[in-house]
Amino acid sequence: MNIKIELEYIGTNYCGWQKQRNSLTIQQILEDVIFKLTKEKVIMIGSGRTDSGVHAKSQIANFTIQKKINLKGLKININKLLPNDIKIKKCNRVSNSFHSQFSSLQKTYLYKIKSINDLSVFEKGKIFFYKNSLEIEKLKKIASHFLGEKNFINFCKKGYSGESTVRKIESIKISKKGFYIDIKITGNGFLRGMVRLIVGSMINFCKGNLKEEQIINALKFSSKPLPRNYSVPAEGLYLIKVKY
């Protein structure tokens, strides 16, 4: 029985999605809870790994169990055992061919920024604070260079998964309301740390630390990386949608 779940979590207290030795992760917690309920050891497959401190409003995962089970009851019982910062939103049976990672067609990430006015106690760990103002038009201008199919080898962390660093960014939408800026990035897939490096490069272009030409060259030529790591913190990043 192949079961698909949709879940949300605050990633602050976890070392990302993927199971690791001697580290607390979302995948490990879910597998442990399901074992307590079903006495079956399962492998929880996520749509993609979110790094340490990254959040999710709509992470998709699937796992297989041998016994038949009431899915409504399973969702309720899993949520009873999960910590307060992780919650199952949906739980459905899917075909055996469904694979949360390999079946996905598109993902959307949201990066949340607050500028000038300091974070409240309710926002800390959930939004990136930037003390200066950011010009929306400048952000939009530099964002346009990331659109399309490109080699993002200079915009990912070491240890990226897979053989290819080519990905297609389909849209980057930037909106501002008061002190808050939202950057939504949609693509057919993302490398490790890729969204945070793209957003960080955009911000540093606005600050004057990076020239437009440097970003263009880093996207065109794998031999011309950026002069330093411009990644923004994980706390502002959310996985918000996975399309199948």
Cα–Cα nearest to 56, from 91, 93, 27: 27
Cα Rg of the chain (Å, integer): 19
Can you list the alpha helix ranges (DSSP code H) found in the chain? 26-38, 71-81, 136-143, 194-207, 212-220
DSSP class of residue 242 equals E
Residues 6+ apart with CB under 8 A from 210: 201, 204, 226, 230
Q: Supply the residues annotated as catalytic.
A: 51
